[in-house]
């Protein structure tokens, strides 16, 4: 199976073969690979791809562009009005598709409607990237729909009539592509072009054209795991040649060597502070203070919580008059000429220069900046797979070291890959999983890559039992971590756990990927205490009626909203409900939700509108967040992105 670049649910307009045939619009799952754009039926109930309905060969595509929206679209294709956007997040995937684009090929235009503008942009960008070397790319297109036998923009009646508007120069990739091949003379402008009154089309991100290639700098060393990979040296610059496969980018080093690199190992410009030991992203004032207290003379540079876009330097110093020590926070100031300074006016062109100066001179600070303190030692993050394109793992490369536990699919072991890399190996008990369907989807799941998701590294499918190989999380499952730990967690630590999970879920929400079984038992904790979400989407492959039926004894009733219990209606808002219950588990240190009730009593209780009580450790504000996840109406529940905002606000304000 060719590797999938993008996968989304869109509305597809029928291709109106005859002038009189009525138009219809169907929700389809679109998949983009290097060679085909295909669309499938989609089973919303079970979240699965259905039968294939059609496809277009990438090499036949001549143009990809937005389309000027219809004049009076019906509600399902209308852009939401202000204030309506809030509810849109939840229903967008299945209910509303207001952003059309066109894929033109030899049979005419295929019209596709996206639920969000961002997703449309992403698809157009990727499509333009895969077609950039096609030989028949056009220079003109039709900006409006072809409806009832004619184009609304120029009234031409032939579906494959030459376009009436010249593509704007922002389509760098098309131009770059054309220059490689048999060139066509530019066409003269048509008369319509000058007279046509058009809404301006939204700008597209320009794919990199030769001469303006993106430069990145490596944040970590990377040793190639397979022959297609390129080695990374921390601090070195690389040119990005191709960004199409999201977690792996094709790059060139300064010696001209080319290969694939993990995109989360690099950052966009050499000015980024992320490469410095002293910089901690996403750290609050109180977390900085906790860390600094461990080392006199320590300092941290962090994003200012009170002034967006600014940085703060936090320093801890003791003195003869103040043996207890004190922590001071200095906002990095910037002059109108873009020069930086701290306490006194010693001006610098860059923040690293300013820090180097104050490492040697206190110059107005309570102390010079002696030791950089960082939140977690900056160990390299997981890569999306063990090397570019390596999703089938050779079991001979695995060493089994110890058993970690047993779950729905059987035993999980800790081991090493090629004797060096820690991995967890799920040995799938035969008959417990619909294996073929999982294997089909595994490549898509491998492309899900986020620092708060337990990374899927690959699968071993050539033998039985099959293995699923994932990132190893030394502190095991969150539920046991909460229950068994001997020390007391501070409220800030509990909130941090919820924030970790919320970050992962915000990412899944942005990818329109549903977890379907979010709970503390399905989160894992690594050696640094970071919580990551695991087993996302896996419930779709469980073969066990007790688990899959909402009446079954293993169904996650206590984590499910009314619409799942009543109608099996899953959405990112049912994941939001589960997240509220997970927050409750965290704040009650691993108690069983609705502990006094059995499953059917819980269902009754929830449907009647009763909710979980406030755990002792949760403040009113924290409880308000979890409670908001349990709104009876799915559309009234916040999105993960809004939840994350509320959690960050509390992190900044509560000590
Ligand atoms: P599961 O089949 O995912 O429910 O896993 C069963 C048990 O194995 C969990 O409760 C964990 O204790 C352990 N486990 C699963 N995956 C991992 C992992 N990636 N790292 C460490 N422990 C794991």
CB of 131 within 8 A of CB of 56? no
Strands of the sheet with 48-57, listed across from one edge: 48-57, 36-43, 25-32, 6-13, 108-114, 99-105, 63-66
| Closest of 478, 586, 466 to residue 534, by C-alpha | 478
| CA angle (353 as vertex; 349, 357 as ends), nearest 5 | 125
Share of the chain above pLDDT 90, in %: 52
Cα–ligand 1 centroid distance for 38 (angstroms): 35
Query: 230-267 burial, b for 16+ CB within 10 Å, e for fewer?
Result: bebeeeeebbbeebbbbbbbbbbbeeeeebbbbbbbbb
Cα–ligand 1 centroid distance for 237 (angstroms): 38
Q: Could you identify the atom of ligand 1 that is nearest to the CA of residue 473?
A: 20
Summarised one tens digit per residue, pLDDT across range 615-639 is 999 999 999 999 999 999 999 999 9
φ and ψ at 558, to 5 degrees?
Answer: -70, -15
Q: Assess whether pLDDT exceeds 70 at residue 73.
A: yes
**Beta-strand pair 108-114/248-252:** unpaired
Q: Token pair of 292, please?
A: 């600094």
- pLDDT score of 591: 96
Q: Token pair of 383, please?
A: 């890569």
Summarised one tens digit per residue, pLDDT across range 263-306 is 999 988 756 788 888 998 878 787 888 888 877 789 999 988 76
Q: Could you tell me the CA-to-CA distances from 19 to 51, 147, 478 in Å, in that order? A: 28, 8, 60
Q: Whose CA is nearest to atom 2 of ligand 1?
A: 407
Summarised one tens digit per residue, pLDDT across range 190-226 is 333 333 333 333 333 334 444 568 899 998 999 999 8
Q: Could you tell me the CA-to-CA distances from 424 to 380, 392, 405, 412 in Å, in that order? A: 18, 15, 11, 7
Q: 503: burial class by Cβ within 10 Å (0-12, 13-18, 19+)?
A: buried
Task: Taking residues 468-481, report their average pLDDT.
Answer: 97
pTM of the model: 0.67
- pLDDT score of 245: 57
Helices and strands (H, E) in the chain, number of each type: 15, 30
Q: Could you identify the atom of ligand 1 that is nearest to the CA of residue 409?
A: 2
- Which of the listed ranges 13-27, 235-249, 597-611 does the model predict with the highest average pLDDT? 597-611
| Closest of 454, 474, 487 to residue 589, by C-alpha | 487
Ligand 1 binding pocket mutation candidate from 382, 401, 402, 404 (most atoms within 8 A of CB)? 404
Does the annotation list 426 as a binding residue? yes
SS3 314: strand
- pLDDT score of 518: 98
DSSP state of 151: E
Query: 308-318 burial, b for 16+ CB within 10 Å, e for fewer?
Result: eeebbbbbbbe
CB of 655 within 8 A of CB of 636? no
- Which range has the worst mean pLDDT, 55-69, 337-351, 626-640? 337-351
Q: Assess whether pLDDT exceeds 60 at residue 308.
A: yes
Q: Whose CA is nearest to atom 15 of ligand 1?
A: 412
Residue 206: count other Cβ atoms within 10 Å of its Cβ.
14
Q: Whose CA is nearest to atom 4 of ligand 1?
A: 407
CA 292 to CA 483: how far, in whole Å?
A: 29
Q: Assess whether pLDDT exceeds 80 at residue 178.
A: no
The residues carrying an active-site annotation are 517
Which is it for the CA torsion 461, 462, 464, 467, positive or negative? negative
- pLDDT score of 167: 83
Ligand 1 binding pocket mutation candidate from 402, 405, 481 (most atoms within 8 A of CB)? 405
The 3-state DSSP composition of the chain as helix, strand, coil percent (nearest 5) reads 25, 25, 50
Summarised one tens digit per residue, pLDDT across range 10-41 is 899 998 777 777 888 998 989 998 899 999 98
CB of 200 within 8 A of CB of 363? no
Q: Whose CA is nearest to atom 1 of ligand 1?
A: 407
- Which of the listed ranges 41-55, 244-258, 605-619 does the model predict with the highest average pLDDT? 605-619
Q: Whose CA is nearest to atom 19 of ligand 1?
A: 472
Q: Whose CA is nearest to atom 10 of ligand 1?
A: 477
User: To the nearest whole number, what is the mean pLDDT of the chain?
Assistant: 85
CB of 556 within 8 A of CB of 446? no
Could you tell me the pLDDT band of residue 260, with boundaries at 50, 70 and 90?
A: very high
Name residues whose C-beta falls within 8 Å of residue 270's C-beta, 6 or more positions apart in sequence.
Answer: 215, 217, 237
Cα–ligand 1 centroid distance for 471 (angstroms): 10
CA 534 to CA 544: how far, in whole Å?
A: 20
Q: Whose CA is nearest to atom 3 of ligand 1?
A: 407
| Closest of 426, 467, 471 to residue 448, by C-alpha | 471
Q: Could you identify the atom of ligand 1 that is nearest to the CA of residue 534?
A: 3
Q: How far is CA 279 from the centre of its chain?
A: 23
Name residues whose C-beta falls within 8 Å of residue 621's C-beta, 6 or more positions apart in sequence.
Answer: 650, 654
Q: Could you identify the atom of ligand 1 that is nearest to the CA of residue 412?
A: 8
Task: Taking residues 82-96, report their average pLDDT.
Answer: 46
Cα–ligand 1 centroid distance for 462 (angstroms): 23
CB of 93 within 8 A of CB of 126? no
Ligand 1 binding pocket mutation candidate from 408, 521, 524, 531 (most atoms within 8 A of CB)? 524
- Which of the listed ranges 1-5, 301-305, 481-485 does the model predict with the highest average pLDDT? 481-485
Higher pLDDT, 366 or 627: 627
Residue 226: count other Cβ atoms within 10 Å of its Cβ.
13
Q: Whose CA is nearest to atom 21 of ligand 1?
A: 473
CB of 492 within 8 A of CB of 499? no
- pLDDT score of 466: 96
Q: Return the H-helix or E-strand segment holding 437.
A: helix 435-446
DSSP state of 639: P
CA 20 to CA 1: how far, in whole Å?
A: 39
Cα–ligand 1 centroid distance for 417 (angstroms): 17
| Closest of 509, 507, 505, 510 to residue 522, by C-alpha | 505
Summarised one tens digit per residue, pLDDT across range 540-596 is 999 998 888 888 889 999 999 999 999 999 999 999 999 999 999 999 999 999 999
Name residues whose C-beta falls within 8 Å of residue 163's C-beta, 6 or more positions apart in sequence.
Answer: 63, 138, 139, 140, 141, 142
- pLDDT score of 206: 37
| Closest of 318, 316, 353, 317 to residue 332, by C-alpha | 353
- Which range has the worst mean pLDDT, 139-143, 191-195, 412-416, 587-591? 191-195
Ligand 1 binding pocket mutation candidate from 406, 409, 411, 412 (most atoms within 8 A of CB)? 412
Share of the chain above pLDDT 70, in %: 87
Q: Could you tell me the CA-to-CA distances from 69 to 86, 113, 145 in Å, in that order? A: 22, 10, 8
Cα–ligand 1 centroid distance for 378 (angstroms): 24
Q: Assess whether pLDDT exceeds 70 at residue 84.
A: no
| Closest of 636, 552, 571, 565 to residue 604, by C-alpha | 565
Cα–ligand 1 centroid distance for 525 (angstroms): 10
Give a three-class secondary structure readout of 578-598: HHHHHHHHHHCCCCCCCCCCC
Length of the chain as a residue count: 655
Cα–ligand 1 centroid distance for 537 (angstroms): 15
Identify the residues whose C-beta falls under 6 Å from ligand 1: 404-409, 412, 424, 426, 454, 470-473, 476-477, 524, 535
Q: Could you identify the atom of ligand 1 that is nearest to the CA of residue 406?
A: 6
Q: Token pair of 186, please?
A: 């530019």
């Amino acid at each position: 199976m060719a590797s999938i670049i993008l996968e989304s649910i869109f509305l597809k307009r029928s291709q109106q073969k005859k002038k009189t045939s009525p138009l219809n619009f169907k929700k389809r799952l679109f998949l983009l690979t290097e060679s085909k754009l295909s669309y499938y039926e989609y089973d919303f109930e079970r979240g699965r791809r259905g039968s294939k309905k059609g496809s277009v060969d990438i090499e036949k595509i001549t143009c990809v562009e937005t389309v000027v929206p219809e004049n009076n679209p019906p509600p399902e294709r209308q852009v939401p009005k202000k204030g309506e956007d809030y509810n849109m997040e939840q229903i967008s995937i299945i209910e509303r598709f207001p952003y059309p684009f066109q894929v033109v090929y030899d049979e005419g235009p295929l019209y596709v409607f996206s639920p969000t503008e961002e997703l449309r942009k992403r698809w157009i960008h990727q499509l333009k990237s895969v077609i950039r070397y096609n030989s028949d790319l056009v220079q003109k297109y039709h900006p409006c729909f072809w409806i009832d036998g004619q184009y609304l923009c120029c009234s031409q009646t032939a579906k494959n009539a030459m376009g009436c508007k010249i593509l704007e120069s922002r389509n760098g990739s098309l131009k770059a592509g054309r220059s490689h091949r048999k060139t066509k003379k530019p066409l003269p402008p048509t008369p319509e072009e000058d007279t046509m009154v058009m809404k301006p089309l939204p700008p597209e991100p320009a794919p990199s054209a030769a001469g303006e290639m993106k430069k990145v700098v490596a944040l970590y060393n990377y040793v190639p795991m397979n022959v297609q990979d390129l080695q990374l040296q921390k601090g070195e610059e690389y040119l990005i040649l191709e960004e199409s496969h999201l977690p792996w980018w094709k790059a060139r080093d300064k010696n001209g060597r080319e290969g694939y690199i993990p995109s989360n190992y690099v950052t966009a410009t050499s000015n980024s502070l992320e490469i410095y030991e002293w910089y901690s992203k996403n750290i609050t004032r109180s977390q900085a203070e906790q860390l600094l207290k461990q080392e006199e003379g320590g300092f941290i540079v962090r994003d200012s919580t009170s002034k967006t876009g600014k940085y703060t330097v936090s320093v801890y110093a003791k003195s003869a008059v103040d043996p207890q020590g004190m922590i001071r926070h200095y906002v990095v100031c910037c002059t109108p000429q873009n020069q930086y300074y701290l306490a006194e006016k010693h001006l610098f062109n860059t923040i690293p220069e300013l820090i180097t100066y104050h490492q040697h001179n206190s110059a107005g600070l309570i102390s010079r900046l002696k030791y950089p303190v960082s939140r977690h030692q900056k160990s390299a993050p997981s890569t999306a797979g063990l090397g570019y394109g390596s999703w089938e793992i050779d079991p001979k490369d695995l060493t089994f070291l110890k058993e970690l536990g047993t779950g729905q699919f059987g035993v999980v072991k800790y081991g090493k890959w090629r004797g060096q890399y820690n991995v967890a190996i799920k040995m799938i008990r035969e008959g417990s999983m619909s294996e073929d369907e999982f294997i089909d989807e595994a490549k898509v799941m491998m492309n899900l890559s986020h620092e708060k998701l337990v990374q899927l590294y690959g699968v071993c499918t050539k033998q039985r039992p099959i293995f699923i190989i994932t990132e190893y999380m030394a502190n095991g499952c969150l539920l046991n971590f909460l229950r068994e730990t001997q020390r007391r967690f501070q409220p800030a630590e509990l909130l941090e756990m919820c924030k970790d999970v919320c970050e992962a879920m915000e990412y899944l929400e942005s990818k329109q990927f549903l977890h379907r079984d979010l709970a503390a038992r399905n989160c894992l904790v690594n050696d640094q205490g970071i919580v990551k979400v695991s087993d996302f989407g896996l419930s779709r492959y469980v073969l066990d009626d007790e688990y899959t039926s909402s009446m079954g004894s293993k169904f996650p009733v206590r984590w499910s909203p009314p619409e799942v219990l009543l109608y099996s209606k899953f959405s990112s808002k049912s994941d939001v409900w589960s997240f509220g219950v997970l927050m409750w588990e965290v704040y009650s240190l691993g108690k069983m939700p609705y502990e006094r009730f059995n499953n059917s009593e819980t269902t009754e209780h929830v449907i009647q509108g009763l909710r979980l009580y406030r755990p002792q450790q949760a403040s009113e504000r924290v409880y308000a967040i979890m409670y908001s996840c349990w709104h009876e109406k799915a559309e009234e529940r916040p999105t993960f992105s809004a939840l994350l905002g509320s959690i960050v606000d509390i992190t900044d304000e509560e000590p």
